[in-house]
C-alpha cells in the first residue's frame, strides 16, 4: 500500500488528483493522509469528492474515508472500464480539474471511452476549457486519440457547463503482464518529450467568450481590444469572439502562442468579474502570456505541471517558466507510483527524468 503525504509542498488538491489518476492507471492502492493540511479549511471538498466518485465508478474501486472534510482516504482500484460515463460534478465544480484525475487512466483503457461531464468550464483556480483543449490536450494525443465533441460554457456559481470527450486508446494496459512491462513497451513506441529549444512565435491565437446577456455591452470584443493593445505590434493576433447561453453570467479570454509548425507550448487566461472592465481582462491575459514569452521558457508552468505524469511515462526533459508547487507535487506523486526519478535544475527551470 502506497502512502501519500497530503501535506507535501503546498498540500493542495493537486496531490490527491494525481494520486487518484496514477493509482487507477497502475492498479496500485494508496492511503493519503493530511489532505489539504495547510489550507484554511483542510480536508476533502466537493471538487475532490467528485474525482473520487468518478474513478470509483470507472475502476470499480473500493474507497474508505470519502466524505466532506475528511483528512484521509484509502483508495483501491480495479480494472478501468470502457464505454460511456456521465458525471455531474454539481454547481461550478471544475471539469478540467476532474479531467486531471480521469484522463490519464482512460487513455489506456481496453476500448473507446466517452465522457459526458457537467460542471464549471471556466472557473477560478482552475484551467479554462480552451486552455485545456488548445494547449494541454495535443500532448495526450501521443498516447490516444482524444476529441472534444461538445462544449457548453459553465461559469460560477451555477456552473451547468458541459464537456463531452471521446477517447480512442492506442495502447491497452491489459495487453501486458504488468505495469513495468507496459511502461517499457510504451517508451519504445512513444517519442520522449524534449522541449528545450524555444521556437519562433508565428502568431498569437485566442478565444474571448462571454455570456449572451453581456453582448449588449460588447464584452467579448472589448476583451479582445485590451489584449491586442497589450501585444502592440509584437505579433500577429487572431482572437475569436464568442457569446453563449450560460446558467450564470461570466466572461473568459484564453490566449496561446503558435509557432511556424503550428505547435502550441504556451498559454494564458483571465476571467471577468463584477466591477472589472472587459478591456482590463484582456490586458491581464496578454500580460501573463508576454511574461512567459519574454523568459527563457519553452512551456509555461501550467502546461509543465500537466506534462509531469506524461514525462514520467515517456521520459524526456522540459524547460518551463518556473518550478511551481504543483510541479513539485506532481513529481513527488509520480515517484511514489512509477519506477521513475526526476531531476529539477533550479537555475535553468528544467525538469527531466533520470
Q: Write out the catalytic residue numbers.
A: 326
The residue segments making up the domain with residue 210 are 201-294
Nearest 5°: the CA angle 184, 188, 148 is: 95
Q: Specify the pLDDT at position 277.
A: 98
Judgement on whether residues 233 and 257 belong to the same structural domain of the protein: yes
Strand boundaries in the chain, DSSP class E? 2-5, 30-33, 62-64, 73-76, 83-88, 113-119, 144-152, 161-169, 193-195, 201-211, 237-244, 251-259, 267-271, 316-319, 342-345, 350-353
Q: Report the 10 Å Cβ neighbour count for 317.
A: 19
Q: Specify the pLDDT at position 41.
A: 86
Judgement on whether residues 241 and 267 belong to the same structural domain of the protein: yes
Task: Give yes or no for a contact between 169 and 108, defined as CB atoms under 8 angstroms apart.
Answer: yes
Q: Specify the pLDDT at position 11.
A: 67
Q: Classify residue 349: in a domain, yes or no.
A: no
Judgement on whether residues 136 and 166 belong to the same structural domain of the protein: yes
Q: Specify the pLDDT at position 315.
A: 96
Domain endpoint, select from 246, 273, 294: 294
Judgement on whether residues 48 and 87 belong to the same structural domain of the protein: no
Residue 343 to residue 328: CA distance in whole angstroms = 11
- The dihedral built from the CA positions of residue 152, 93, 304 and 272, taken in this order, carries a sign that is positive
Q: Classify residue 187: in a domain, yes or no.
A: no
Judgement on whether residues 151 and 206 belong to the same structural domain of the protein: no
CATH of the domain at 263: 3.30.360.20
Q: Classify residue 341: in a domain, yes or no.
A: no
Domain endpoint, select from 268, 294, 320: 294
Q: Classify residue 348: in a domain, yes or no.
A: no
Q: Specify the pLDDT at position 242.
A: 98
Q: Classify residue 315: in a domain, yes or no.
A: no
Q: Classify residue 181: in a domain, yes or no.
A: no
Q: Cell numbers 460515463 correspond to what residue? A: 85
Judgement on whether residues 54 and 117 belong to the same structural domain of the protein: no
Q: Specify the pLDDT at position 143.
A: 95
For residue 253, the cross-strand partners are: 208, 270
* Number of folded domains that form the chain: 3
Q: Specify the pLDDT at position 149.
A: 97
**Rounded (10°) CA dihedral 96, 102, 108, 110:** -120
pLDDT along the chain (354 residues), means of 10: 91 91 97 91 92 96 96 96 95 95 96 98 96 98 96 97 97 88 91 94 98 98 98 97 98 97 96 96 98 95 97 97 95 96 97 94
Amino acid at each position: 500500500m502506497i502512502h501519500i503525504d497530503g501535506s507535501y509542498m503546498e498540500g493542495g488538491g493537486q496531490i490527491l488528483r494525481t494520486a487518484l489518476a496514477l493509482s487507477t492507471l497502475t492498479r496500485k492502492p494508496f492511503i493519503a493522509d493530511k489532505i489539504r493540511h495547510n489550507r484554511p479549511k483542510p480536508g476533502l471538498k466537493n471538487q475532490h469528492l467528485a474525482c473520487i466518485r468518478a474513478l470509483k465508478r470507472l475502476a470499480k474501486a473500493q474507497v474508505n474515508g470519502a466524505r466532506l472534510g475528511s483528512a484521509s482516504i484509502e483508495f483501491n482500484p480495479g480494472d478501468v472500464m470502457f464505454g460511456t460515463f456521465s458525471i455531474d460534478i454539481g454547481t461550478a465544480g471544475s471539469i478540467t480539474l476532474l479531467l486531471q484525475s480521469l484522463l490519464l487512466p482512460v487513455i489506456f483503457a481496453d476500448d473507446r471511452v466517452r465522457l459526458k461531464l457537467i460542471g464549471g468550464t471556466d472557473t477560478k483556480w482552475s484551467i479554462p476549457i480552451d486552455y485545456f483543449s488548445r494547449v494541454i490536450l495535443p500532448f495526450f494525443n501521443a498516447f490516444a486519440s482524444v476529441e472534444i465533441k461538445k462544449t457548453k460554457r459553465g461559469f460560477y456559481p451555477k456552473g451547468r457547463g458541459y464537456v463531452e470527450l471521446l477517447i480512442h486508446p492506442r495502447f491497452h494496459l491489459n495487453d501486458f503482464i504488468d505495469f513495468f512491462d507496459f511502461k517499457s513497451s510504451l517508451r519504445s513506441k512513444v517519442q520522449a518529450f524534449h522541449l528545450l529549444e524555444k521556437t519562433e512565435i508565428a502568431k498569437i491565437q485566442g478565444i474571448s467568450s462571454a455570456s449572451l446577456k453581456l453582448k449588449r455591452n460588447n464584452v467579448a470584443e472589448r476583451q479582445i481590444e485590451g489584449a491586442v493593445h497589450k501585444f502592440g505590434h509584437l505579433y500577429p493576433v487572431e482572437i475569436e469572439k464568442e457569446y453563449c447561453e450560460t446558467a450564470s453570467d461570466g466572461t473568459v479570454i484564453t490566449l496561446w502562442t503558435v509557432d511556424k509548425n503550428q505547435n502550441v507550448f504556451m498559454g494564458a487566461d483571465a476571467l471577468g468579474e463584477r466591477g472589472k472592465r472587459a478591456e482590463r481582462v484582456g490586458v491581464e491575459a496578454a500580460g501573463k502570456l508576454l511574461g512567459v514569452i519574454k523568459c527563457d521558457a519553452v512551456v509555461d508552468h501550467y502546461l509543465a505541471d500537466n506534462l509531469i505524469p506524461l514525462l514520467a511515462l515517456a521520459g524526456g526533459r522540459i524547460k518551463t517558466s518556473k518550478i511551481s508547487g504543483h510541479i513539485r507535487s506532481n513529481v513527488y506523486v509520480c515517484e511514489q507510483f512509477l519506477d521513475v526519478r526526476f531531476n529539477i535544475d533550479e537555475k535553468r527551470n528544467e525538469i527531466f527524468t533520470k
